[in-house]
Structure 1
Amino acid sequence: MKLSSDFLKKNQHFLRSCILYEVVREEPIYYAYNNFCYAVGKDAMEYPDFEFWYYRFYQGELDLDYDRSADPEPKKLVDMPVVLMKEIVKNLDAVERTCLRSMNHAIKDVADSFDPVFEKLDVGVYDFSLTWKLNKLSFSCDKQESGGCRFYKEHSHSWISEKSEESYIQKSLEYLTPLLTMPNIKVNHFSLRLSEETIAMNFNCDDLLPVPLNAKSVFIESQTTNQVVQFLSGMRPGSLESISLKIPERENYERIFETDQFKQAKNVEFDMDMEFNMADLVHFSHLKTFKFNLIGRNTFEDVPKIRDIISTSENFESCEMIYYAFRDDFSFEKFAASLGAEIPIGPLAEGERLTFTHRYQIPESNECLEFIVKKQYHGRCLVNVFKTRIS
């Protein structure tokens, strides 16, 4: 015989018996309530009522017909003074406040009176799942072969899961959108990884970032420059200091240089698989630090240009680059000669790479550039440059 859900929800003895069963199983209340909702439906009983019966049975009071009407009306969280609410919220971290603000409007207003500052938010979008990590708390929404998705949340070193008929993208955004639109939200480090399939999915910046994100540093890995520019433009330029990008395809990166985010950044790091040319170096003149892969054409012309551009950059502090000139039979010795430096003579220790150091005094200044150049595989060299003050 198949029992209707309406019958189950209206039969209070049956519902209370289900709660008693969870207590007998010694199931923790959070998991017990999830089991209860899964068995009889989420709208069968509100959590406060479930909690009342759970702890009553837990304390050995097993009367299923107990009349609650004579009990004093229980105090609610919103009944406490605002001053006390603020004291509680003040002692929570940003993640805990995020959970608390979803309870009701009064609590939300108190929680929003504290600027939410997260250490990091890492997001990965793939063709089978969307994952994110908020500080140390992990979440994942996975596509199911049977349709819909399953949402996973890390809790007390274990995982809580929930099945949904929605797509894994829609379900994920139900959690991420309220988070990323919180008033005055700040993220010290935001990272985003987009798989190749996200292009066909038409997953765009407006889906994830409906408002500009106030991030101090950002890492974006994507398949195309267009996608990178789209999501980089979703960052608030004034607060973004550091940018790190990875694009596997070899493309023209001019659009990146044109963004306000790049123009106002202080530190930029490009993955070493991304190749830049000498003409691109002028776009780096406002930066304090940068890291990139530079492909030249003529070492004897390129190296003095690199030195002169860096030496006239007022904000420059340091950089790291891989340099290789593919049309002039490039060699490590040629790079040293173009700087006017000498390569040390003598045997190398096992595993040691041939290295030389060269100092260049900046004209009409008490500062100099220190070049530390190390020979690499495939004819390339690793170049580290530091601006130092002459004592």
Structure 2
Amino acid sequence: MDESSEGIKNNDRAMKTVILYEALKNTPIFGSYRRFCELVGHDVMEYKDFEFWYYRFYHGQTDFDYDRSADPVPKTIMDMPVSLMYKITENLDTVERTNLRTVNKSLKDVADSRPLVFDRVQITVFANCLNWNLNEKRFSCWKKENGCTLQTPTKKVESDKSFIEKGLEYLTSLFKLPKIHVHHLTLSLHGAIPELDNVPFHATSVKLYAHGVAGCSVFIISTFEVLESCELKYRDVFDAFPIRTIAQALEEEIPFGPLKTINHRYPIPESNDYLDFTIEQEWYYCTIKIVKTR
């Protein structure tokens, strides 16, 4: 901060003069406050105080020495009746409610009071980017030379973290929300993504597309806490489903000769539960049945 900014910061009348100048220019208040903070610092004046003086000056009340002590305590959003807060959250979509819960603990409790339901969540991972759609809203996190860029429907964020770390930071916190439910989840993986093991997926219907990731479904499916059973079918246009590759990925003993069936039990980490796999090779397709057992 230069000397002129430091002088304004330590002078109440100088700060109010800056606010008066912004009000007389009819500059939108949010932009005015950002410039004010850039000039004197972000910890000098709270937005509510800036707003008070801005609108006084805007309406022609330019007394710098006005005594605010006699004024009633200003109302904030937290003074709103709880019933009205609940009414507001009913009119927010799931992404907006996810953002609302980050404001403070009280609003977080209000946002968490109702189930958070997504009809569709689509997650796609490439070698240099992670994309996901929450219903109709799209998010992207892509690799840059020294970190990544996160693009949301409302903002762009630069980060020094890897695109996988930054993207999964968002997704992991999303799937850890209480009362979250996803009707249809689609995962498309182009390469091994071990970090996905830590994402606690919740979904009723799941589609998994894995390209060049042998055995990845074992680890991803194990994170579905409410999974009881599922059945996958793979059809190969060349009638050559690589069942031996799956057996090798599952570390099962591979016999000589034709291999038609694989049975495998996978222990779910930090649990007494298992996933029992039955993989059967048919003429032109393969059936994979997975059942959770206790």
Q: Deviations over 1:312-366 (max 9, x none)?
A: xxxxxxxxxxxxxxxxxxxxxxxxxxxxxxxxxxxxxxxxxxxxxxxxxxxxxxx
Q: Determine which of 190, 203, 212 is the counterpart of 1:215.
A: 203
- Matching residue of 1:277: 282
1:190/1:217 contact within 8 Å kept: yes
2:188 matches 1:193:
yes
Q: Deviations over 1:279-310 (max 9, x none)?
A: 98675699xxxxxxxxxxxxxxxxxxxxxxxx
The alpha-carbon distance between structure 1 residues 185 and 16, as it changes in their structure 2 partners (threshold 3 A), is farther
The alpha-carbon distance between structure 1 residues 280 and 242, as it changes in their structure 2 partners (threshold 3 A), is closer
Amino acid in the other structure paired with 2:123: V
1:19/1:36 contact within 8 Å kept: no
1:220/1:245 contact within 8 Å kept: no
CA distance in 1, matches of 2:17, 2:127: 43
1:148/1:166 contact within 8 Å kept: yes
SS of the residue aligned with 1:117?
strand
2:191 matches 1:203:
no
13-22 or 124-133, larger mean C-alpha shift? 13-22
Tell me how far 1:186 sits from its aligned partner: 0.5
Tell me how far 1:143 sits from its aligned partner: 2.6
RMSD: 4.5
- 5+ residue gaps in structure 2? 251-261, 267-273
Tell me how far 1:63 sits from its aligned partner: 4.5
- Matching residue of 2:256: none
Tell me how far 1:182 sits from its aligned partner: 0.6
The alpha-carbon distance between structure 1 residues 245 and 278, as it changes in their structure 2 partners (threshold 3 A), is closer
- Matching residue of 2:213: 224
- Matching residue of 1:152: 151
2:275/2:290 contact within 8 Å kept: no
The structure having more radius of gyration, on CA atoms, is 1
Amino acid in the other structure paired with 1:232: I
Tell me how far 1:114 sits from its aligned partner: 0.8
SS of the residue aligned with 1:192?
strand
SS of the residue aligned with 1:102?
coil
- Matching residue of 1:90: 90
CA distance in 2, matches of 1:19, 1:166: 41
Tell me how far 1:246 sits from its aligned partner: 10
CA distance in 1, matches of 2:90, 2:125: 33
Amino acid in the other structure paired with 1:219: K
Q: Determine which of 163, 170, 174 is the counterpart of 2:165.
A: 170
1:19/1:50 contact within 8 Å kept: no
1:142/1:151 contact within 8 Å kept: yes
CA distance in 2, matches of 1:103, 1:246: 48
2:141/2:166 contact within 8 Å kept: yes
What is the percent sequence identity of the aligned residues? Answer: 33
The total of aligned residue pairs comes to 260
CA distance in 2, matches of 1:124, 1:85: 35
CA distance in 2, matches of 1:63, 1:240: 70
1:101/1:111 contact within 8 Å kept: yes
86-95 or 110-119, larger mean C-alpha shift? 86-95
Amino acid in the other structure paired with 2:282: N
- 5+ residue gaps in structure 1? 265-274, 287-391
Q: Deviations over 1:217-239 (max 9, x none)?
A: 12223321322221122123447
Amino acid in the other structure paired with 2:223: G
| Highest RCO, 1 vs 2 (Cα 8 Å, sep ≥ 6) | 2
2:124/2:189 contact within 8 Å kept: yes
The alpha-carbon distance between structure 1 residues 137 and 60, as it changes in their structure 2 partners (threshold 3 A), is farther
Amino acid in the other structure paired with 1:205: D
Match runs of 1:234-253 below 5 Å: 234-238=223-227, 250=242, 252-253=245-246
The alpha-carbon distance between structure 1 residues 215 and 236, as it changes in their structure 2 partners (threshold 3 A), is same
CA distance in 2, matches of 1:175, 1:214: 15
19-28 or 161-170, larger mean C-alpha shift? 19-28
Tell me the TM-score normalized by structure 1.
0.52
1:216/1:242 contact within 8 Å kept: no
- Matching residue of 2:131: 131
CA distance in 2, matches of 1:56, 1:262: 70
CA distance in 2, matches of 1:9, 1:240: 66
